A = this chain, B = another copy of it.
Amino acid sequence: MRETRRPDTVFWVDPAAVRDDHLTLDPEESHHLLHVHRAVAGTPFVAVDGAGSTYECLLASSERGVAVGSVKHRATDLGELPVPITLLVGLPDSGPSETVVSLAVPLGVSAIDFVACSRSGRPPLGDPRLARLTRLAVSALKQSRRSRLPVIRSTPSLEAGVGLLAPGARFVADPEGQPGLRPAEGAMAGSISLAVGPPGGFTPEEVADLKNAGFEPISLGYSRLATETAAITLLAVARNYLK
């Protein structure tokens, strides 16, 4: 049976494939819409471009297996946090890196930098690995109904990572820090940066550098947290204070 109900799935569309009131899905997304969801002319579907736009469409044509949608409504910044949050994560193994992407993207992070810290014991991630993590981010974006694809990058040192940050509130997970995140009124209005160490933690020198760069040390308390758990916890706690 062919379907004319709207699939409960969001489709990815390249921003360059949106022209006036029509958009064209790539072969993989077209296949998914036409063959997995069995869409026919007139079937409604939703597409997101990762650059802030979410489109409500009707399937206009499916010639040669290419799905073209007629745009009925366009919304901007659906599912996005009111302020950008960047996460600096001391580069861990690949499993924990994937956990960070899978959980932090739905929570609204704007950028994740897997920083090759002293105790990471490895070089920054190369392009194939970043491409894989970005594919995970696209999948998480679609599932969570966000509209802006976070940047996934990997810098070779904490200094390089900090150099890319916008001004604003900064917090680092540090067992020696103040217990719990208790931001001052109004502190969470700008661009927010969060940092968690690699397995084994930041070195004392790295912690000192972060403090000099304006990072407030926050203890996530009580027990020892793995890098990925600390990253998600700090992000969850910070976004709870956004208005």
Chain A residues in the interface with B (C-beta under 8 A): 79-81, 99, 103, 106-108, 143-146, 180-181, 221-226, 228-229, 232-233, 236-237, 239-242
Contact = CB atoms under 8 A, between A and B. Distances in A.
B79 A144 contact: no
Given A180-B242, A237-B236, A239-B221, A106 B145 contact: no
A103 B242 contact: no
B180 A222 contact: no
A229 B180 contact: no
A223 B145 contact: yes
Nearest 3 Cβ contacts at the A-B interface: A236-B236, A79-B223, A144-B223
A196 to B, nearest CB: 13
A241 B144 contact: no
B236 A181 contact: no
Nearest to A8: B200
Given A241-B180, A242-B180, A236 B226 contact: no
Given A103-B232, A106-B229, A81 B222 contact: yes
B145 A224 contact: yes
A107 B225 contact: yes
B181 A222 contact: no
B181 A240 contact: yes
Contacts of A222: 79-81, 108, 146, 239
A145 B225 CA distance: 9
Nearest to A10: B224
Nearest to A232: B232
A93 to B, nearest CB: 14
Contact of A223 (B146, B224, B226, B242): B146
Given A108-B222, A221-B239, 16 more contacts: A79-B224, A80-B222, A80-B223, A103-B228, A106-B223, A106-B225, A107-B223, A143-B224, A143-B226, A144-B223, A146-B222, A180-B241, A181-B240, A221-B242, A232-B236, A237-B240
